[in-house]
Each structure stands twice: as C-alpha cells, then as structure tokens.
Chain A
C-alpha cells in the first residue's frame, strides 16, 4: 500500500462529505460551461457527468467556441420503478432542461442528457419535487441496485424489489451534501456529524454494482455485477440468496491486466439480516483492500482475484461473525424481457414495450414519448425499466387495459414492439456518441441500421426466429454488456468493431474476441459465413453462442 494514491482519492478525502469545490465551480461566473477536474470527480457521486456534444466539437472549435459542455444526470431508481406521476414529471423536466430524449439505461434507470451548468439545480429541484434524486448513481460508491424486472416470473418479485430498495438506501453515503448543494438545504455547521462508518472519507476504490436475479430468468445479467444476488426460493417462498462476487465487464484495449469477469458464487446467505450483513461486509473489505492507486485495477473483480476466493470467504465470515452457507442449486435459462401484455402472479397486467436502445423519444410514426405521457396521465399504471433498456407498464387492472392499449396502438408503440424482429428485440447498444466521452465508435445511433442489414442474413440462412443476444458498445467498457452476448461488437475506432462471439444465452459464459477492427462490410461478410455454418451444423435448439464453441469456430480467434 506504499503506492501513490490516484488523484481521485485526494479529491474524495478532502471533499468534506463530497462537497469539495462543487458549489464554487457550478456557481462561479467563469469563461467555461465546464467545471474543473476535482468538481467533475465529485459531481459523479451526486449522479452527474460532465460531457460535451462530440458531434459539435470541430464546428465549435472553428467558431472559436469551447466544446458544447453539458451534464448528464442519472436517476437513482432501485429496481427501476417509477410511478406514473413521476414519469410525467420526468417528461416535463426533460422537456424543460435537456435534449428531450429520456434514456433508459442497462441498469434500469433513466438518464437525461444536455443539461447545461446553470440548469443543474433547477433540474434536481424539479426531480426532488417528484421525490426523485440522483444520489450515488455514479462515482466510487454503490450504484443503482438492479433487480429482476418482470413480476410475471415469481411471487418473489415484490420481496426482491424490497431488497433492492433497502440495499440502495443502506449503502448510500451519509453526507447531506446533495441536499445542501443542489436543493439549498441549510448547511451543517459541523460536518463531522456526518460520520459514515461504511464509506468513511475514502468511499470505495471504484464504482460498485449490485444486481438481484430470480432464476430461471437472468434478465439483470446478474453475474456482471460486483455483487450478484441470486434469489433462492422454496415452494414460492424466498429463502435467501446465493452470494456471488467479482463481476465486471470492462477491459482496456491493449492493457492485458484488464479483463471482463463474471461473478463467482461464494455461498448462500439467508434472507433478512444475514444477507444484508454479508453484502455490507463485501463492501467494507473492498473498501479496505481495493487498489487505490491504479483505477484500472480497482474494481472488486481484481481484488477478488488478487486475494483469492478462499481468502475472501474467510475474511467475509470473520467480518460477518457467522459462516457462509454452501451455495444452493439454481438454474438460469434466459435473459429476456416478455414483450406485450402478460399477467403477473398477482393477477394484474403488465405490458412490456420494446424501446430500441432505451431511447424514449418521438420518431416518425412511432411516438413513444407522446404515448407514454398520455398513458401516464391516466394514472392507471406504474413504470418499470428493464436491464434490457425496455419499459414495463405495470400493475394495470383488467378494466384499464383497453384504454392503455388504444393509446399504445394510436402512437405506433404496439406495432413497433410486436413487429420488431427477434434479433432486434434481443439486442442492446450503449450510448456512445455523441455524449459519451469514452466512445471510440458509434453504438446506439448505429446499431438499428446495422441490424437492418444483419437480419436479412438471418433470413438468408433461415435463422431469423432465433433469439440471438446481440450487443454493441462504443468501447470496451462494456456498458451494454457486449462481452456477455452471443454476438458482441466492441468499438475500436469510428466505423470499426471487434467482433466477439460465443456467450451463452443465460449469461453464465462470456464471449471471446473472434475478429478485430471490422468495418461494416467485413462484419456482414463474417456474420454471413458464421450464420451459414451455424444454420447448417447446429443441433436442435442449439444457440448460436453454444454452437460456435462446440463447432470449433472459436479455435481460430483473433
């Protein structure tokens, strides 16, 4: 631990409860719409990222204008649940202060982009009015807790969501700085009053994610989280959770010390106090042992591999004060959203809307944003977001179903959902250009178009009905979990992607890099070839991801 701390560590420690220089940087009349590095890092903990419109960089530079800076705000929605009234508020806020597009993320929450510095406070105040906040949705801290989204699955659903909520709250930082800075709450005289036994003044070495799945559906892609909780039931009753640690997908091109990793199950903990304690102590161990000098080695996955599973189990048991039970048997079969109307175990109705790449907006005859606003205005349903970037209109009573259907029909939502091809319905792309500063290639703006060229290839080879999971990210950070897909595209440069293949359908096996730096023509050509072999040689019901392993295709990787 002699190594020099990374600069972010310094910012955190002297921030006095994540206050730092944020207020000064945001309030100051400066020559820039940006804030400085310290404020950038600290504002993440408040759920905001400084970005700029990368499409406009060159043009603005020519005009002698600085980059078009703005902020992205990410909401804290444990389990991805929103009331209709909150949706209306979000819609209005998006209209007033942002680009207007509401983005559903791969972790079931909402992001608004394009909020200029002076609009941050009004935006957060408006969210507060709707009982929404963005605390700890970014930064080196526990993020939005993801949880299985469709109540169709199981009676456990509501209980699981209770855990998502409780965990989210319990693992929030204790500081009141969010309220002071953004909502003008009166300042605490003595900031020492805000003791934070979990995060202390250091927070975690890196971002931290928790997901909860209810087998057999793994729609939350639970093993990609730092902590994966797998609900274990017996005769419809929740017993507790298998606890898995060390998931994370990011890698850096050209840095072999970085790698994606699925979480390793280390045992089972009963529901209630034991599981809460277990999760909490995983965080304290990561807090104490995680790498704080190299942010590229700081995620839990590296701490787990560095110290070993056995060491982890022992240390965790020591800290919990009770032993881990051995893991219970479970089986994941799919990672799916159930599109259309379905009835939940509780007798209420649920409509899952396909939202391509999570972008809620009005386009052409598909007026999704308008439709959702009208539906929300009825107040007869709730809103849930899935880890596949879709929306579930939830808890609809039989009598209200008709009216909602009419509106969805009218604005082309039903058509867009029910006529979409299986490949499209099972695909995801991350944000990438123009807002993501890390993007190397396009993703959500490009994937729809690329799919329209891949789908004909499926038809050509008669595999168009297959639910192949295809994902694209603009860089190897893997925000749309591209390395956990049967077909993954990882951007390397504008118009170029590494092609990864061979993930399984349930999310228990990562894919493998197969070809590098393909342009569109090469992508289509390669897939054409792969589809041809697959359609010819696959076993019955064999998925694409499984076939490429069995068929030996991955032997000749890039």
Chain B
C-alpha cells in the first residue's frame, strides 16, 4: 500500500525508535485517523514531534541567516534574542561564515533567508545554497525550520526559503516548525515564527510531562495581507541625460502619480515590465495557438496574447526552467539560460505547448531608486534615473527589458508601479550630520534626492559626493544641478571619476583612498556613508576602499575595520542601495 520510499522511511523510523516511542506512535497515528480536523486538514509530513528524549535543553541551536539588505539579519538577531531570553542556547551565524562541514553534525538548525533576483539566494548565501544542493549530505540527525523573507511583488515569492526547506527535507532533515514566509513588512510574521519556535522547544523540553499537542497558535493568526498597492502614473518627462556621442543611455524620467504617493526620500519604486509585442507575436506564431486561446494560469484563464505580454517571463529563462522544459518535452537541452522563443524554436514542444506555457515564471518587477525627494518634489512627482541596460546577444546589442521599455515611453504614457521601501537607506534624522555619498552612474539617483531634500529643508550638514561615469563631457548626470549645489555651498566637496574627457581618471575607490583622512574625520563627526549604484564591481571596490580607510586612519586591524563598518551599518550609518 505504501510507496517504496514511504515504506523505507517507516522501516528506518521503526528501526531507530525505542519500544516506548513505537507505542506512542501507534497511539498518535490512531488519533490522527480519528481526528483529522485537528491538523487543519494538513498531514504533518515529517513534522517532528517532541518525542526524542536524547535531546536536552542545553543543546545549541544554530541560527543561520542569509541577507542582501540586512532584513534577514535583523529578523534573525531578533529571534536569537527572544530565544535566549527564554533560556535557549542560540548561535547566530551569517551563512557566508558558516563552516559547511559542520552541517552534518548539527542537530537543531534555524535558517532565516531572503530571496533575491528572480527567486535566487542573496549573493553571500549562494555558496551555502549551492553546497546544499550539490552535496549528498546525510542530515538525518538534523531538525530545522526556515523563515523565508521575500516580497509578494515577485512571482517567485520566498523561493529561496522554499528551496532550502525542500532540500533539507530531501537530505533527511526534519521540520520542527513549518516554513514561515514573510513579505516586505517581515516583522509580524518573523515574530509569529519565533513564537512557534519557542513553543516547539519549550514543549519539546518538557515532553516527558506533556501530552501530544499541536502548537496552539493557529497557522494564520495574521490576516492574509493584500498584495502590493499598485499606483498609476503618467510620464511627464523622459529624456537622455547623456549627450550625443556617449556610450551610455541614461534617462531622467519624471512621473506624475495619479494619487498621492507617500514615500520617504531614499525609497524606490517597483515596475513590472511587459514583453515586447513583436516577441509575443513571434511566440504565438511558433506555438500554433490562437492569440485568444485561453491559458490556465494561477486559477485564472487568460488569453494567450495577454498571458505572454504581461504575465510571464519569456527571456533568459534560468537553468531550472530550461531543465524543466527539457523534462517536459523529453529532449536533451544543454544546461544554460535561454530565451523561451529559442527553446520553442530549437526544441519544439509539440503537443506539450500548453504545459510549456504554464510552467513559465511570472514577470519579475524591477526596482528603480527615486531620484526625487518627497519634501522637495511633493507627493505626486516622482523622478527616476534609469540606465538602459545593454548586452551582447548573438553578436547584436540587446537591451534590458524594463529599462529599455521605460526609456522608450513617450511623455503622456501611463504605467503602474508600487512602492519599494528602502528602510535602511535614509538621510540622518539630524540635519546637521555630515553625509558622504558614493554614487557613480545611476547611483546618483538617491543622492540627487538627498541633496534636493537637504536643500529644501535648509539642512546644515556637510554633503560630500563621489560621482563618476564614462565620459566627463557627455555623462556627467545632473551636472548643472550639482554645480549649483556646490556654488551655493550645499555640496562641500565633489570627487569625480571619469574615464574620459578629463585628465583626472582616477576610479572611485582611488578617490576614496586618497580622501581617506577626511572621510575618517567625517565619520568621527557622526557622519553617514552611503553607496549606491552597481553592485559589482563598484560597490565591492568602494567598500574595500572604505575598509582600508577605516583601518588606516582609525588604526584598526582588517577585522577590526570590518567590525567597525558593520557597526556603522547596524546604526544605518553605512547604507547601500546597490544592484
């Protein structure tokens, strides 16, 4: 009656259990059959119950966290504090610092991790994630629970957390508390999860004296929140900031929100792009289906054309998708990212076209930092600074989907967006606090917002900007505004890094190093340091330079400098808006 795998699990379980445990189990199973409603209709697959007496109250709980912008870390540390206060022994470790060889020896593991990109782990967590997926570990002795941070704005909601739970299960580990997902406002869900964890450990440790009980806290005490609030806006201005002859194509876009849009300076907006009509048409033609053919997707029935245009990602499908397509259509397809159109073209799905369409992922929103200030530009005028992403594909220049779409939109076009909060990327509360802004390229966006805000508020704090791009002559974004801010004294200093059009071609990181003493001075005065723009290589190099500055001028060891910067980050005095 049982499938082979289930049978094997049962045998293994029986083998490892004591007589007493076996007795308890028989009762438990009988009880389940009698009262299925107790489980809210959920069969607690592998959900571990507190019957292992080997464990004691003093065992160490390892709490791994993987973060990009610090939310997961915040949540993890909060949980750790709570658990400690409850008398538990918790060791929080950043996942990139975790010795993976330890994993098979762990007994209690908590994972707090966010999802990035298109359902991918944070960069720092990638090695751990890959390790877990590539190695055939024996985690039979492991008990775990995952708190997954994410955003409902993304189609692959909390995917990394989900992946990790699945994989740990596969490797034999057992769930203590089921996966808890949380949206951008992660605190309430994180709290709920912490409580469940606490409940698990207290009941487990008192198991001898307690009857079986399913945690009392209902799975959903928190009301299902509606998705992101979607705003409508009209493009009021859209022009290239670069002069002719530039290699870059960066647009200044002004949007008028139809209703008041309440944000804080430093925030961003999210935009879900649409696929190009020409591509949609090509795919329809290739599919042999009619444009109005109904596609069943997420409990909806959507005409094919709409489905392709505005629901699913057709470009640069990740390996996972390509593999799934290969399995679906039973073809040998190399392990590489590919456009859906190419897949259909080179590896025709034949009668599986419907399924192939249904397996596509939803379109991922793109984030753009606002270059407007709430105080200076009001609650209906939003500015963006968008670089049209370019890449080579089949020896031709192609453009990023969303950035090219935005750059092309004529004045008067309407489009939808949502607020993407950047809680950690804020001007200091004190208007007198000095700030250092490192923002080459489109990294200038939030700093234009900051400077506009400090200007309108008459904030007295010293402002210092590091900017750079390719060519001084053609690519000095917001040059005249920056010149004005400098001549009115708002900008105390500006350090430029252009590759061309000037005899000063020092890269940003070198400027940081050369200005080290002064930067240190500003930090000592309580200054804030911000980095915005390309994650790689810019922000990595800028951070390395900042560490060197701290180490040199603050007389710190390399590790000391790291700790110092971490502390600054914790106080939101070192903040990044990088991508």
Contact = CB atoms under 8 A, between A and B. Distances in A.
A60 B244 CA distance: 10
B398 interface: no
B476 interface: yes
A100 B239 CA distance: 29
B483 A66 contact: yes
B234 interface: no
Interface string B448-491: 00000000000000000000000011101111111100100000
Interface in B117-166: none
A184 to B, nearest CB: 13
Given A31-B479, A116-B473, A68 B243 contact: yes
A555 interface: no
Given A27-B503, A116-B501, A117-B502, A68 B473 contact: yes
Interface residues of B, number: 25
B243 A118 contact: no
A117 B473 CA distance: 10
A64 B243 contact: no
Contact of B480 (A27, A29, A64, A121): A64
A65 B480 contact: yes
Interface in A23-72: 27, 29, 31-33, 56, 59-66, 68
B573 interface: no
Nearest to B494: A31
B242 A63 contact: yes
A63 B486 contact: no
A195 to B, nearest CB: 33
B496 interface: yes
Given A29-B495, A31-B483, A32-B483, A65 B502 contact: no
B241 interface: yes
A26 to B, nearest CB: 8
Contacts of B241: 63-65
Contacts of A64: 241, 252, 477-481
A39 to B, nearest CB: 15
Given A63-B243, A64-B252, A29 B502 contact: yes
A25 to B, nearest CB: 12
B218 to A, nearest CB: 55
Contacts, number: 54
A33 B496 contact: no
Contacts of B243: 56, 59-60, 63, 65, 68
B55 interface: no
Contacts of A62: 239
Given A29-B495, A31-B496, A60-B243, A65 B501 contact: no
Contacts of A27: 503
B93 to A, nearest CB: 44
B480 A61 contact: yes
A121 B567 CA distance: 47
Most B C-beta atoms less than 10 A away, residue of A27, A60, A63? A63
B495 A65 contact: no
Interface string B505-545: 00000000000000000000000000000000000000000
A29 B511 CA distance: 11
Contacts of A32: 483
Contact of B486 (A31, A33, A61, A121): A31
B318 to A, nearest CB: 37
B45 to A, nearest CB: 59
B240 interface: yes
A29 B501 CA distance: 11
B503 A65 contact: no
Interface in B54-100: none
Most A C-beta atoms less than 10 A away, residue of B239, B472, B474, B486? B472
Interface string A493-521: 00000000000000000000000000000
A67 to B, nearest CB: 9
A407 to B, nearest CB: 32
Contacts of B476: 31, 65-66
Contact of B502 (A59, A61, A63, A118): A118
A68 B478 CA distance: 14
Contacts of A31: 476, 479, 482-483, 486, 494, 496
Interface in A151-192: none
Interface string A178-220: 0000000000000000000000000000000000000000000
Contacts of B480: 61, 64-66
Nearest to B483: A31
A146 B61 CA distance: 92
A56 B241 CA distance: 14
B52 interface: no
A29 B483 contact: no
A121 to B, nearest CB: 8
A117 B472 CA distance: 11
B495 to A, nearest CB: 7
Nearest to B495: A29
A118 B85 CA distance: 64
B375 to A, nearest CB: 20
Contacts of A66: 476, 479-480, 483
B72 to A, nearest CB: 38
B320 interface: no
Nearest to B478: A64
Nearest to A59: B243
Contacts of A59: 243
Nearest to B237: A62
B504 interface: yes
Nearest to A120: B503
B75 to A, nearest CB: 41
Contacts of B240: 63
Contacts of B252: 64
Most B C-beta atoms less than 10 A away, residue of A27, A29, A32? A29
Interface in B100-126: none
A62 B481 CA distance: 11
Nearest to A70: B473
Contacts of B479: 31, 64-66
A244 to B, nearest CB: 46
Contact of A29 (B239, B474, B504): B504
Most A C-beta atoms less than 10 A away, residue of B241, B252, B480? B480
Nearest to B487: A31
A57 to B, nearest CB: 12
Interface string A116-134: 1110010000000000000
Contacts of A118: 501-504
A68 B471 CA distance: 13
Contacts of A116: 473, 501
Contacts of B483: 31-32, 66
Contacts of B478: 64
Contacts of A56: 243
B472 to A, nearest CB: 7
B579 to A, nearest CB: 23
Contacts of B504: 29, 118
Contacts of A117: 502-503
Nearest to A62: B239
A33 B252 CA distance: 22
A58 B206 CA distance: 78
26 contacts: A29-B495, A29-B496, A29-B504, A31-B479, A31-B482, A31-B483, A33-B472, A33-B473, A59-B243, A60-B243, A62-B239, A63-B239, A63-B240, A63-B241, A63-B242, A63-B243, A64-B477, A64-B479, A64-B481, A65-B479, A66-B479, A66-B480, A68-B473, A116-B473, A117-B503, A121-B503
Interface of A: 27, 29, 31-33, 56, 59-66, 68, 116-118, 121
Given A27-B503, A31-B476, 16 more contacts: A31-B479, A31-B482, A31-B486, A31-B496, A32-B483, A33-B472, A33-B501, A62-B239, A63-B241, A64-B252, A65-B241, A65-B474, A66-B476, A66-B483, A68-B473, A121-B503
Pairs of residues from A and B, 9 with the lowest C-beta to C-beta distance, nearest first: A118-B503, A29-B504, A31-B483, A64-B480, A65-B479, A118-B502, A64-B478, A66-B479, A63-B241
